[in-house]
Amino acid sequence: MDTRRIGSLDVSVVGLGCNNFGRRLDLARTKDVVDAALDAGVTLLDTADIYGGSDSEVFLGRVLEGRRDRVVLATKFGAPMAGNDLAGGRPETVHAALDASLKRLGMDHVDLYQLHFPDPDVPIAETIGALTDEVRAGRIREFGVSNLSAEQLREAVAASRDDGPRVVSLQNEYSLLRREAEREVLPACREEGVAFLPYFPLLSGILTGKYRKDAPLPEGTRIRGNERWEGLLTDELLDAVERLAALAGEQGRELIDLAFAYLLAEPSVASVIAGATSPEQLRRNVAAGAWRLDDATRNEVRALLDEVGEVAPR
């Protein structure tokens, strides 16, 4: 497994998104996936205090007991969701949310602590100040942000103290069929020296190749029965999927391989965070992360995507 840097952290280029833990997976199945991840060389595990109703952190704490030093553990805080008493980016929220996460995890520190969403009511400098204090207290090693625009990212970087820790990562959505990050966010990451962590790299499974034109929706997938995701499966999107799969096939690869390789061809991308509900899925994601696109193939993919246009609107 290749590795890249997030600030002082060395992480595997394929990470494990932990939003299924406590929601779709119980403790035993969570352990199966985490065991497979560690066996395959995955070191970055990314969760949040709201995943699985907070059980994702609880489960991770249990299954990582005795092997905490084998992972770079990232979690997030502050999501503005109903029922979240610790939403937002106020300094007191930062400290209280970290207290709660560390208790659930059964750990004394988090490697990467991330603001889940920007808080329009709190100056980012106040949030950064609280995160800086937690770095100095030894309870987090690095901090990052998520779901920020390029302008907001630059403001967050500027708020970092000159003599102290700074924002090291930005986690936003990015995939072959949702490329908004390429317009402004990725250039900002390159300019500011911030690592980029794409989430939904497979567009909720659409880019695995399991959804094909004129074929029934497979049973047991997260899209089936979900109006939001099923609505994306238009003829235009499925045509794009067929063309991308064909391009991958010309290289002796599958669509999922192209989905990972395209993102990893971006220098700012440190790790592609993908969820998994089974050891088999985890191992397939890891295998996909091994392909490195040459410039000619990457340009061919871009040309195809430019021609296809916006087929997966939010």
- Residue 83's domain spans which residues? 3-208+257-294
**Residues designated catalytic:** 51
Question: 56 is written with which tokens?
Answer: 């994702």
Does the residue 216 lie in any domain?
A: no
Q: How many CB atoms lie within 10 A of CB 28?
A: 9
Q: What is the pLDDT of residue 37?
A: 98
Does the residue 242 lie in any domain?
A: no
Does the residue 272 lie in any domain?
A: yes
Dihedral Cα 83, 84, 85, 87, nearest 10 deg: -140
Does the residue 238 lie in any domain?
A: no
Element at 15 (helix H, strand E) = strand 14-17
Q: How many CB atoms lie within 10 A of CB 65?
A: 10
Element at 81 (helix H, strand E) = none
Does the residue 222 lie in any domain?
A: no
Does the residue 124 lie in any domain?
A: yes
Are the CB atoms for 204 and 222 separated by under 8 Å? yes
C-alpha separations of 298 from 50, 173, 258, 265 in Å: 36, 20, 10, 8
- Round to whole Å and give the CA distance between 42 and 38: 5
Which DSSP symbol is given to 152?
A: H
Does the residue 59 lie in any domain?
A: yes
Are the CB atoms for 292 and 261 separated by under 8 Å? yes
Does the residue 165 lie in any domain?
A: yes
Q: What is the pLDDT of residue 155?
A: 96
Q: What is the pLDDT of residue 82?
A: 77
Q: What is the pLDDT of residue 289?
A: 97
pLDDT in tens, the chain (314 residues): 999 999 999 999 999 999 999 999 999 999 999 999 999 999 999 999 999 999 999 999 999 999 999 999 999 999 998 788 999 999 999 999 999 999 999 999 999 999 999 999 999 999 999 999 999 999 999 999 999 999 999 999 999 877 789 999 999 999 999 999 999 999 999 999 999 999 999 998 999 988 877 777 676 666 766 767 778 888 999 999 999 999 999 999 999 999 999 999 999 999 999 999 999 999 999 999 999 999 999 999 999 999 998 888 88
Q: What is the pLDDT of residue 228?
A: 73
CA 272 to mean position of chain CA atoms: 6
Tell which residue, 279, 223, 280, has the closest CA to residue 28.
279
CA 254 to mean position of chain CA atoms: 21
Q: What is the pLDDT of residue 104?
A: 98
- Round to whole Å and give the CA distance between 236 and 224: 19
Q: What is the pLDDT of residue 109?
A: 98
State the first-to-last Cα distance of the chain, in angstroms, to the nearest integer: 32
Task: Give how many domains the chain has, as a whole number.
Answer: 1
Query: Under DSSP, is residue 85 helix (H, G, I), strand (E, B) or coil?
Result: coil
Tell which residue, 268, 281, 286, has the closest CA to residue 6.
268
Cα torsion angle, 289, 118, 222, 249, sign: negative
Q: Find the CATH number of the domain harbouring 127.
A: 3.20.20.100
